[in-house]
């Protein structure tokens, strides 16, 4: 530092070397403030310096690291360690708040929605941040959770000098409230842990945009802090605390009621010499500030009342002393001689004003009277110094004067005077005996008082033990109430889970109802399809029978035509063939439509099977959920039983305490009969005991009412649990019935599936029959074509035969003419006749051959017709069987649908009943919660937060580990404090 300013000295309380550890910094900077805060003082620790000088590292360090953690985590551990080592009668309430000053706006780091908080003053004109979030904590881990939550929301940025530059001033405030449960004494202290943002030069940091605006606001607030310190150092009448929110919040820390420690963080680099010099000058000025600290003690109404009564009693005693002194002074002024025994001495004054140690008035001390008289001299300048005759202390001084009086007085008067002296001596002896007797009585009274005091101390010890037992029972009742609150919270959670499960059950029921409706619609469609299929099958059967009849008729016609050919047969065959072709085409179309319908029915069957499987899975899920609910209800029942047993134990404890109180009252009555003096001595004790009895009676009645209410609530909960068990059992029974119905429906579905498969096989058979009919149709067409060709050949043959017969007839006529004309030539007619016979024989052979072929064709057609007849009869038989099975299946399907509907209706009724019970149960739970909330609010006396009390005298959960500090060179300044103890 000599290079900065030769000969310039900077004076501080302590200077740390660059290699100083975090432990060394904490031991010097923060550790002394912990005890002060716990004793009711305010404290402030804040770090000041340029940017990147190690302020945040000094204050926070690395949280959780035993070596590099900073002041804040170590001071948190130290506070709780001190609490754990203090008296067990102390109860602490600790709350923390965490906020930052960013862009001259106070922003709550625990609630990011609070971005512009204001600073107000309380009734003592102490500034505070209004609306800041306050969290009650009971362990260091909870404090660290709050710090982690706040650090996430803090503003940081990257500059040329620091990778994690703080862009705001952060303030972590710890408020400690302490209460002594025995003396009811209350103290509170606040600890401000401030991490200031560093002053920076834009040329070095390279700030731009928003970072530049942040740097301007940081430098402005630090400048306002410097102005406040300068005004305090110079003793100015006006201190500009209101120029910045930072100085407004730290008003008590700068010249107010707080023990303040400032850590000056400097950079040893020559590059930052000007900033380091200004920082050191700032620390020098801040060191000269003087704070006026005092203990923050909270006086209750009872404390104020006790102080008032004490001062009132003191005034009464002073008035009595003044009245005694005035009476003595009046006697002196009237010329009366006051004996030293009647003088009001300083000891009597001190004893009259002495505060009693306890509420029982002590008896006045009785010292030896002669010693007191010997030790007290006559006041100087008091009137009436003449000695009283017969007084031992005055006889030596008055003897010469008496001799002079006797010399001039007659002997009779002297004798009378001597007789009077003898009488006075006898009176003095009697008074001495009376004094001795009274002294003995006083000693006896002292012994009685000592014994009474011993009895009182024993009774006080018993009362103390009773109070301790009462306090323990009170704590047990608090624990029971907390357990009941936890039980209520768990009950609310279980109720929410039941509501969610109920919603899921309702959704599943809705899905099941939807699936049932879909199944009903599918069943209706299936019935329609079955009806359509039946009608189509009837039409197909009728068409087949008609076709067979037509085939039979065609065969008969063809046989008639073949046997008796005629010219009108051809036209009739053409017409019958056309009709047959039309019937066959209709059969093809109907067969195709039936085939498509069968495929559609198969797809619908698959869908129905999938729906049944899905409903089965959902029923399994419902059963598992129902089992889970039964398990949860069982656990709740066990908790209720545990609570009931604990309640009975507390009731037995209260009864035993009542019995002990009755014994104490009996002892008190026995002690009350010892006499009037004992009653006067025990007056204060009886008042205290009456107050304690009244308080205990009130608390006992309150706890009895609470226990009764809790018992009634537990009985109601037990009844509700039994009702829920009944509902669960009924639901379980209905679920089992539903499972049985589902199994039966599954079985019926399987049967229907098997029958549908048989129907599919029958359809396949029908398809095969259709294919056979198609082949038969082709065969019939071919045969008809063959018959048509035969008919055409037959017609041609007939025409040829007719032509031949005509030519033969012409030839026979010509032969007859030739026979008659040529009678002379016999050989020629014979030859012609032979030729004609030959032709006729050939024609007969040809006709015979043609009839044989036709007969063979007719036999073949008859054979095919027999086959078709058999196939038709088989199809008719199968169709009749299917028609017989179809009504049975339809009847079973209707029964299944009706059963499903009845199950849905019963499930709906059960759901409505469960909803009604749940609503009643929810209303009851809301009522219980409201009652518990009102009781808690009445117990909290209007406090808006739930405090987490910490009882002192317990070992810490985890020991504090030391930490190192490796950063720049900080200097510590502790401003001098006027009036510090």
* 276 and 308 both lie in a single domain: no
* 149 and 42 both lie in a single domain: yes
* 619 and 636 both lie in a single domain: yes
**Are residues 202 and 215 in contact, defined by beta-carbon separation less than 8 angstroms?**
yes
Residue 97 is predicted with a pLDDT of 93
* 323 and 254 both lie in a single domain: no
**Distance (Å, whole) CA 717 – CA 713:** 6
Q: Is residue 69 part of a domain?
A: yes
**Are residues 350 and 321 in contact, defined by beta-carbon separation less than 8 angstroms?**
no
Tokens coding 201: 């030069």
Binding-site residue set: 49-56
Q: Is residue 422 part of a domain?
A: no
Q: Which of 298, 327, 354 is the last residue of a domain?
A: 298
E-assigned strand segments in 417-516: none
DSSP 3-state of 166? strand
Q: Is residue 761 part of a domain?
A: yes
* 271 and 336 both lie in a single domain: no
Q: State the maximum Cα–Cα separation within the chain, in Å, rounded to a whole number.
A: 262
Q: DSSP states of 263-316 as a string? A: EEEE--SGGGHHHHHHHHHHHHHHHT--EE----EEPPHHHHHHHHHHHHHHHH
Residue 173 is predicted with a pLDDT of 93
Nearby residues of 840 by Cβ (< 8 Å), 6 or more positions away? 808
Binding-site residue set for ATP: 49-56
* 745 and 610 both lie in a single domain: yes
Nearby residues of 446 by Cβ (< 8 Å), 6 or more positions away? 363, 366
Q: Which of 760, 779, 804 is the last residue of a domain?
A: 804
**Distance (Å, whole) CA 88 – CA 538:** 101
Per-residue three-class SS string for 610-649: HHHHHHHHHHHHHHHHHHHHHHHHHHHHHHHHHHHHHHHH
**Are residues 793 and 801 in contact, defined by beta-carbon separation less than 8 angstroms?**
no
Residue 972 is predicted with a pLDDT of 40
Q: Is residue 970 part of a domain?
A: no
* 103 and 240 both lie in a single domain: yes
* 82 and 161 both lie in a single domain: yes
Residue 405 is predicted with a pLDDT of 40
Q: Is residue 977 part of a domain?
A: no
* Confidence (pTM): 0.38
**Distance (Å, whole) CA 932 – CA 717:** 15
* 106 and 159 both lie in a single domain: yes
* 315 and 267 both lie in a single domain: no
**Distance between first and last Cα of the chain:** 36
182-207 pLDDT tens trace = 877 888 899 999 988 877 665 566 65
How many C-beta atoms surround the C-beta of residue 324 within 10 A?
15
Domain extent, residue 316, equals 302-344
Determine how β-strand 43-49 pairs with β-strand 90-102.
unpaired
Q: Which of 753, 783, 804 is the last residue of a domain?
A: 804
How many C-beta atoms surround the C-beta of residue 863 within 10 A?
10
**Are residues 55 and 49 in contact, defined by beta-carbon separation less than 8 angstroms?**
yes
Per-residue three-class SS string for 845-881: HHHHHHHHHHHHHHHHHHHHHHHHHHHHHHHHHHHHH
How many domains is the chain built from?
3
Q: Is residue 449 part of a domain?
A: no
Residue 769's closest CA among 650, 862, 877?
877
Q: Is residue 619 part of a domain?
A: yes
* 622 and 765 both lie in a single domain: yes
The number of angstroms, rounded, from the C-alpha of 847 to the middle of its chain's C-alpha atoms is 112
Residue 448's closest CA among 670, 675, 672?
675
Whichever domain contains 93, its CATH number is 3.40.850.10
Residue 839 is predicted with a pLDDT of 44
Q: Measuring CA to CA, how many Å separate 275 from each of 156, 178, 199, 267, 409? A: 21, 43, 8, 8, 111
Buried b (16+ CB within 10 A) or exposed e, 828-855: eeeeeeeeeeeeeeebeeeeeeeeeebe
Tokens 């009872």 found at: 302
* 288 and 256 both lie in a single domain: yes
Tokens 């620390």 found at: 283
Radius of gyration of the chain (CA): 63
**Distance (Å, whole) CA 192 – CA 188:** 14
Q: Is residue 522 part of a domain?
A: no
Task: State which residues of the chain have pLDDT below 50.
Answer: 1-4, 356-408, 561-567, 569, 674, 824-850, 939-947, 956-981
């Amino acid at each position: 530092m000599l290079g900065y300013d030769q000969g310039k000295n900077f004076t501080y309380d302590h200077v740390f070397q660059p290699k100083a550890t975090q432990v060394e910094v904490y031991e010097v900077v923060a550790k002394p403030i912990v005890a002060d805060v716990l004793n009711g003082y305010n404290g402030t620790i804040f770090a000041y310096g340029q940017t990147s000088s190690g302020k945040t590292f000094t204050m926070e360090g690395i949280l959780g690291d035993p070596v590099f953690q900073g002041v804040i985590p170590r001071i948190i551990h130290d506070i709780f360690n001190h609490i754990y080592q203090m008296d067990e009668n102390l109860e602490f309430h600790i709350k923390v708040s965490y906020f930052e000053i960013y862009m001259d706006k106070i922003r709550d780091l625990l609630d990011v929605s609070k971005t512009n908080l204001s600073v107000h003053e309380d009734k003592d004109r102490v500034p505070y941040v209004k609306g800041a979030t306050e969290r009650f904590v009971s362990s260091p881990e909870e404090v660290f959770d709050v710090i982690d939550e706040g650090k996430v929301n803090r503003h940081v940025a990257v500059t040329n000098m620091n990778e994690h530059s703080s862009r705001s001033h952060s303030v972590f405030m710890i408020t400690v409230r302490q209460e002594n449960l025995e003396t009811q004494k209350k103290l509170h202290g606040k600890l401000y842990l401030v991490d200031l943002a560093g002053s920076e030069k834009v040329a070095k940091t390279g700030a731009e945009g928003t970072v530049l605006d942040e740097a301007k606001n940081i430098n402005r607030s630090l400048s306002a802090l410097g102005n406040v310190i300068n005004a305090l150092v110079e003793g100015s009448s006006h201190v500009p605390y209101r120029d910045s929110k930072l100085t407004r919040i730290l008003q008590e820390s700068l010249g107010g009621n707080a023990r303040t420690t400032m850590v000056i963080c400097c950079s040893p680099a020559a590059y930052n010499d000007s900033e380091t010099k200004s920082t050191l000058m700032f620390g020098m000025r801040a060191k000269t500030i003087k704070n006026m600290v005092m203990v923050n003690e909270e006086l209750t109404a009872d404390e104020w009342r006790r102080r008032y009564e004490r001062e009132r009693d003191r005034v009464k005693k002073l008035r009595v002393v003044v009245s005694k002194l005035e009476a003595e002074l009046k006697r002196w002024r009237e010329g009366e001689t006051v004996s030293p025994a009647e003088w009001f001495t300083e000891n009597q004054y001190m004893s009259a004003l002495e505060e009693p140690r306890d509420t029982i008035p002590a008896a006045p001390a009785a010292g030896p009277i002669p010693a007191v008289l010997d030790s007290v001299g006559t006041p100087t300048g008091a009137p009436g110094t003449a000695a009283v005759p017969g007084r031992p202390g005055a006889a030596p001084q008055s003897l010469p004067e008496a001799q002079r009086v006797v010399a001039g007085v007659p002997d009779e008067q002297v004798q009378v005077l001597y007789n009077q002296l003898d009488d006075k001596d006898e009176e003095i002896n009697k008074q001495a005996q009376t004094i001795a007797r009274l002294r003995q009585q006083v000693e006896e009274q002292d012994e009685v008082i000592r014994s009474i005091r011993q009895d009182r101390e024993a009774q006080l010890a018993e009362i103390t033990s009773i109070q301790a037992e009462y306090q323990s029972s009170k704590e047990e009742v608090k624990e029971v109430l907390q357990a009941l609150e936890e039980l209520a919270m768990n009950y609310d959670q279980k109720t929410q889970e039941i509501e969610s499960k109920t919603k899921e059950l309702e959704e599943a029921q809705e899905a099941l109802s939807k699936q049932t409706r879909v199944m009903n619609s599918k069943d209706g469609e299936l019935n329609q399809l079955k009806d359509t299929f039946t009608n189509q099958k009837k039409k197909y059967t009728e068409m087949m029978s008609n076709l067979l009849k037509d085939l039979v008729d065609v065969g008969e016609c063809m046989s008639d035509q073949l046997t008796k050919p005629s010219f009108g047969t051809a036209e009739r065959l053409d017409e019958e063939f056309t009709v047959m072709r039309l019937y066959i085409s209709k059969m093809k179309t109907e067969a195709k439509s039936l085939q498509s319908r069968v495929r559609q029915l198969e797809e619908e069957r698959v869908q129905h099977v999938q729906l049944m499987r899905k409903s089965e899975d959902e029923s399994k899920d419902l059963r598992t959920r129902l089992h889970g609910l039964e398990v949860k209800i069982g656990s709740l029942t066990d908790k209720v039983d545990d609570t009931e047993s604990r309640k009975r134990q507390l009731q037995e404890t209260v009864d035993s305490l009542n019995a002990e109180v009755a014994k104490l009252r009996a002892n008190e009555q026995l002690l009350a009969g010892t006499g009037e003096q004992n009653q006067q001595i025990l007056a204060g004790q009886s008042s205290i005991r009456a107050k304690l009895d009244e308080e205990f009676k009130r608390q006992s009645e309150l706890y009895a009412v609470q226990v009764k209410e809790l018992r009634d609530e537990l009985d109601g909960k037990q009844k509700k649990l039994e009702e829920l068990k009944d509902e669960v059992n009924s639901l379980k029974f209905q679920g089992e019935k539903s499972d049985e119905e589902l199994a039966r429906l599954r079985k019926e579905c399987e049967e229907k599936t098997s029958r549908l498969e048989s129907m599919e096989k029958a359809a396949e058979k029908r398809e095969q029959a259709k294919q056979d009919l198609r082949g038969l149709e082709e065969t019939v067409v071919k045969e008809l074509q063959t018959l048509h060709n035969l008919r055409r050949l037959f017609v041609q043959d007939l025409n040829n035969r007719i032509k031949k017969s005509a030519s033969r007839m012409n030839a026979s006529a010509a032969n007859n003419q030739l026979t008659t004309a040529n009678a002379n030539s016999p050989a020629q007619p014979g030859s012609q006749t032979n030729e004609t016979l030959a032709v006729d024989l050939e024609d007969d052979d040809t006709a015979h051959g043609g009839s044989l072929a036709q007969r063979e064709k007719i036999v073949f057609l008859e054979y095919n017709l027999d086959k078709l007849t058999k196939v038709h009869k088989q199809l008719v038989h199968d169709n009749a069987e299917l028609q017989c099975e179809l009504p049975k299946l339809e009847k079973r399907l209707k029964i299944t649908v009706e059963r499903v509907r009845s199950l849905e209706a019963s499930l709906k009724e059960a759901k409505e009943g469960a909803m009604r019970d749940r609503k009643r149960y929810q209303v009851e739970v809301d009522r219980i919660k409201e009652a518990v909330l009102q009781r808690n609010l009445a117990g909290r006396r209007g406090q808006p937060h739930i405090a987490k009390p910490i009882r002192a005298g317990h070992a810490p959960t985890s020991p504090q580990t030391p930490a190192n500090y490796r950063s720049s060179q900080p200097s510590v300044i502790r401003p001098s404090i006027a009036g510090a103890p």
